[in-house]
Amino acid sequence: MKRKNVLALTLVLLLIFTTVFASACGKKETAKDNDIIIGVSPSPHADIVKQVVDDLEKEGIKVTIKEYSEYVQPNLDLAEGEIDANFFQHTPYLEEFIAERDLDLSVLGGIHIEPMGIFS
């Protein structure tokens, strides 16, 4: 269990630090440099991000979590600059979404994906 937590924490930190770096290069000037808004699905992705919020605040990074109950709006909000990153989808979904809507978004890293199975 500890190994899973460390892996999840590492992935989230990588995503957040990469996003903070990338957002510093963007046009958005109203947010503080160390503030980040992350769009997530309620579970498990919000739960994973919540695990690192306190640690990041100790480092001077304020994280705001915005939960979405569907998968289209987080990408649209990201493209419009309403959020700084999102954490809910796998790469093939994002790549198809970008191609269909001609958006300027990119993958910063992999995410935690829940295994699915078919049972009889």
pLDDT in tens, 49-98: 999 999 999 999 999 999 999 999 999 999 999 999 999 898 899 999 99
At the topology level, CATH places domain 2-101 in D-Maltodextrin-Binding Protein; domain 2 (3.40.190)
Domain ranges of the chain: 2-101
Rounded CA gap, 43 and 7, in Å? 17
Question: Regarding predicted confidence, which is higher, 5 or 48?
Answer: 48
Kindly report the pTM of this predicted structure: 0.69
Rounded CA gap, 116 and 120, in Å? 13
